[in-house]
């Protein structure tokens, strides 16, 4: 089984970390094609960068999804997930929704932890859009940047540990790490925390393996069914062709 790992931002270090987490989580026999964005934001740190990254996600799946059995969106705002499902005949799983649904099987209420107070409300909106707000204990943030994950790893780990503990204090019975750059961080912190610490990439890989194995069909009617072919212009030929597919 081959799974595409889509990182629409331009930071290879994030892709590397995502791949590390995916490999640790995968079953034997699962291979990955990890791809990094070619245009768009260096790192998604705002609503506008996320909006722009949607194009990047679509372009990456247009180029690399063919030949894969599933797609994992390794972008913690789950950018363009339903758009990808509409365009592709294979399962698409985004990392934060994956962690939320997995958390829902382990704990009655869970927290979400991310980089920067600025994006806290955006993750709350994501949980609401996912329909799981009723199970959200809270959203926590650490005042570090994704880049510091690589430049000051110990400081970032300590910050995440502290913020996760605060979520537990507020009633979280599991904690979702929402940040592609947080991939592979859970194993290093789990021993210090009394509740499961969920890595979205690992969860998404597991769910993508399951969906690809069980071969559920995608809807042939409704808001995520195939469109029958749409015309778009001014984008890469691969993406134009993907939109045009009957």
The answer to whether 71 contacts a copy of itself (rule: CB under 8 A) is no
The answer to whether 179 contacts a copy of itself (rule: CB under 8 A) is no
Give 179's DSSP letter. -
Which 127-166 positions form the footprint of a copy of itself (CB under 8 A)? 128-135
The answer to whether 207 contacts a copy of itself (rule: CB under 8 A) is yes
The answer to whether 17 contacts a copy of itself (rule: CB under 8 A) is no
Go through the chain and tell me how many residues it has.
246
How crowded is residue 86: how many other Cβ atoms within 10 Å of its Cβ?
19
The answer to whether 203 contacts a copy of itself (rule: CB under 8 A) is yes
The answer to whether 10 contacts a copy of itself (rule: CB under 8 A) is yes
* Residue 226 main-chain phi, psi, to 5 deg: -60, 150
H or E segment to which residue 7 belongs = strand 2-7
Of 163, 232, 230, 227, nearest to 193 by C-alpha is 163
Which 225-244 positions form the footprint of a copy of itself (CB under 8 A)? 225, 227, 230-235, 239, 243
The answer to whether 84 contacts a copy of itself (rule: CB under 8 A) is yes
The answer to whether 111 contacts a copy of itself (rule: CB under 8 A) is no
**Dihedral sign of CA atoms 2, 55, 40, 205 in order:** negative
Of 225, 168, 227, 220, nearest to 192 by C-alpha is 168
Which 40-59 positions form the footprint of a copy of itself (CB under 8 A)? 40-42, 45-52, 54-55, 57-58
- Of 67, 221, 237, 246, the one binding a copy of itself (CB under 8 A) is 221
Task: Considering the complex, state which of residue 39 and residue 155 has its C-beta at the smaller distance from a copy of itself.
Answer: 39
The answer to whether 121 contacts a copy of itself (rule: CB under 8 A) is yes
The answer to whether 211 contacts a copy of itself (rule: CB under 8 A) is yes
Burial 146-176 (b: 16+ CB within 10 A, else e): bbbbeeeeeebbebbbebbbebbeeebbbbb
- Vertex 66 angle, CA 65 and 69, to 5°: 70
Q: How many residues contact a copy of itself, by CB under 8 A?
A: 91
- Of 60, 182, 183, 195, the one binding a copy of itself (CB under 8 A) is 195
Task: Considering the complex, state which of residue 156 and residue 205 has its C-beta at the smaller distance from a copy of itself.
Answer: 205
Whole-number minimum distance, CB 213 to a copy of itself, in Å? Answer: 6
């Amino acid at each position: 089984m081959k799974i595409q790992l889509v990182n629409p931002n331009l930071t290879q270090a994030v892709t590397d970390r995502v791949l590390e987490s995916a490999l640790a989580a995968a079953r034997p026999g699962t291979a990955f094609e990890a791809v990094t964005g070619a245009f768009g934001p260096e790192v998604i740190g705002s609503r506008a960068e996320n909006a722009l990254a949607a194009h990047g996600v679509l372009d990456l799946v247009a180029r690399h999804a063919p030949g894969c059995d599933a797609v994992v969106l390794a972008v913690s705002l789950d950018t363009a997930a339903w758009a990808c499902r509409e365009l592709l005949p294979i399962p698409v799983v985004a990392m934060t929704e994956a962690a939320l649904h997995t958390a829902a099987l382990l704990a009655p209420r869970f927290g979400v932890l991310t980089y920067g107070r600025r994006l806290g409300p955006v993750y709350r909106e994501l949980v609401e859009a996912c329909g799981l707000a009723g199970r959200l204990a809270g959203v926590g943030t650490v005042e570090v940047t994704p880049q510091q994950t690589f430049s000051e790893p110990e400081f970032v780990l300590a910050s995440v540990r502290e913020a996760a503990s605060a979520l537990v204090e507020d009633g979280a019975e599991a904690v979702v790490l929402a940040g592609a750059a947080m991939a592979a961080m859970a194993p290093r912190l789990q021993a210090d925390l009394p509740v499961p610490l969920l890595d979205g990439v690992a969860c998404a890989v597991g769910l993508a393996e399951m969906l690809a194995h069980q071969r559920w069909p995608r809807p042939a009617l409704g808001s995520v069914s195939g469109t029958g072919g749409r015309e778009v212009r001014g984008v890469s030929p691969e993406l134009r062709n993907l939109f045009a597919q009957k």
